Amino acid sequence: MKSLFLNLPLLADVSKIANDDYVGFTFFVGCMAMMAASAFFFLSMNNFDRKWKTSILVSGLITFIAAVHYFYMRDYWAVVGESPTFFRYVDWTLTVPLMCVEFYLILKVAGAQKSLMWKLIFASVIMLVTGYFGEAVYTTGSGPALWGLISGLAYFWIVYEIWFGSAKKLAEAAGGSILKAHKTLCWFVLVGWAIYPLGYMAGTAGWYNPGGDSWSLSMDVIYNIGDAINKIGFGLVVYGAAVASQSSTSEA
């Protein structure tokens, strides 16, 4: 494996992004989008009372952590010309648990316990570590299928918990803008997060990439689209809930 901490030359190589380099292009746009979203969340934080401030802060942290990783991934792609799998999974391992924290923070007003948060975080770490095994460690034979399956089970565990488990009951008890935000975030996890296993399948040799390397490129494009939808969109849902909740209390 090539050193992950290469002294990456910046502009020289980035300026070489070709017109048909969709991976390089989406990494570049990803940097800008994540950075802009972070600025938006951080700067709007102080418009909200304490209950919502932390949620907006976490939205900003998610896109900010992603922005930093996107700069590294963009450069790694430009210089090495391979999928930056390591950075990708470090990014996810930091940001996906933070998304689980968002579920907890939103439901805290309805009395959510920390145990709910830890359960979701635990499941998400299993999902990502086993996914990494299938994508980067056990990449031959039945490895990708086996580890992908375990990862998928952990994913469905998360889906179950938020759609049907205690999280759902808490959201119903809270009602109003909390219930609405929870429902939207549930859809993000069910539909938005489902983009990632598609990327994984596209990146696994012999599955959706019969053409070999020429097809495996699309894995990163799929992941990048998924990240933009899920990290920025997810944060905006939380932001919208904060706005709705605050305007309904100030009217009352």
The minimum distance between CB 49 and ligand RET, in angstroms, equals: 27
The minimum distance between CB 11 and ligand RET, in angstroms, equals: 27
Residue nearer to ligand RET on the CB measure, 143 or 152: 152
Binding residues for ligand RET (CB under 6 A): 92, 95-96, 127-128, 131, 148, 151-152, 155, 193, 196-197, 200, 227, 230-231
The minimum distance between CB 165 and ligand RET, in angstroms, equals: 18
The minimum distance between CB 122 and ligand RET, in angstroms, equals: 15
> Is there a contact between 215 and 209 (Cβ–Cβ < 8 Å)?
yes
The minimum distance between CB 168 and ligand RET, in angstroms, equals: 19
Specify the 3-state DSSP secondary structure of 82: coil
How far is Cα 214 from Cα 233, in angstroms, rounded to an integer? Answer: 30
Residue nearer to ligand RET on the CB measure, 165 or 173: 165
Residue nearer to ligand RET on the CB measure, 79 or 203: 203
> Is there a contact between 45 and 56 (Cβ–Cβ < 8 Å)?
yes
Residue nearer to ligand RET on the CB measure, 74 or 231: 231
Nearest Cα residue to 5 out of 65, 70, 86: 86
Residue nearer to ligand RET on the CB measure, 67 or 79: 67
Task: Give the nearest residue (CB) to ligand RET.
Answer: 131
Dihedral of alpha carbons 31, 32, 33, 34, sign:
positive
How far is Cα 226 from Cα 230, in angstroms, rounded to an integer? Answer: 6
Give 137: exposed, middle or buried? Use CB within 10 Å, 0-12, 13-18, 19+.
exposed
Q: 205 - beta bridge partners?
A: 209
